[in-house]
Amino acid sequence: MERIIKTVSGKHRAAALDFVERVFTEHDSAREGRFVRRLTEEIRTGRYYVAELELMMADETDEIIGYAMFSRFPLEGKHENELLLLTPVAVKTELQRRHISRDLLEYGMQKAAGMGFRAAIVEGDPRNYRARGFETAADHGILPGPTVHLPHIDCLMAAPLVPGGLDGICGTVDYSLYPCLLEEGE
């Protein structure tokens, strides 16, 4: 199968939302699918959206088989031009475990580094992100704030995009810039 990584644009903007909702619905529930779609829409319309870092992988028929979005993210009003939030990441259910997310993340992290970003944070299962260079964010002084509801501290992770990329980046993660994240934690 041919795989092409590209920026989400044009006809793929709506298809990407449908794709993310479908993957999260299949993985978890219809509620989770709607929630992740809404979060994606909120990021897209917010001030921290980076169009060049909303990525998809398509097959030879131009069907979306993978998706990842990196957006700028401030910590305590700082680092918004250095730090990215990676969310959401989705892979077509029947194609999972075929390195689609790995390839998307590596491509996105390289592209982001080339754009001057230094680090990325993600919330998720550490087993899915450690191989991409993510470590427990708290070990680097990036701590979950009251709006972040984690099953375990290790689920908030950070990765440098360049050597020393996490040096000097510290603070508390606050999701209040995305209303749906606040509602989800209640």
We report the CATH number of the domain holding residue 119 as: 3.40.630.30
Global pTM value: 0.94
Count: domains in the chain: 1
Cα–Cα distance measured from residue 182 to residue 75, given in angstroms and rounded to the nearest whole number: 16
Domain that holds residue 77: 4-185
Sorted by sequence, the CB contacts under 8 Å of residue 161 that are 6+ apart come out as 84, 109, 112, 113, 117, 118, 119, 120
Residue 184's pLDDT is 55
Which residue, chain included where needed, has tokens 């749906």?
Answer: 180
pLDDT at 186: 42
pLDDT at 185: 46
Q: What is the pLDDT along the chain (186 residues), one digit of tens a residue?
A: 789 999 999 989 999 999 999 999 999 999 999 999 999 999 999 999 999 999 999 999 999 999 999 999 999 999 999 999 999 999 998 878 788 999 999 999 999 999 999 999 999 999 889 988 999 999 999 999 998 989 999 999 999 999 999 999 999 999 998 988 877 544
What backbone phi and psi angles, to 5 degrees, belong to 59? -90, -175
Residue 11: count other Cβ atoms within 10 Å of its Cβ: 9
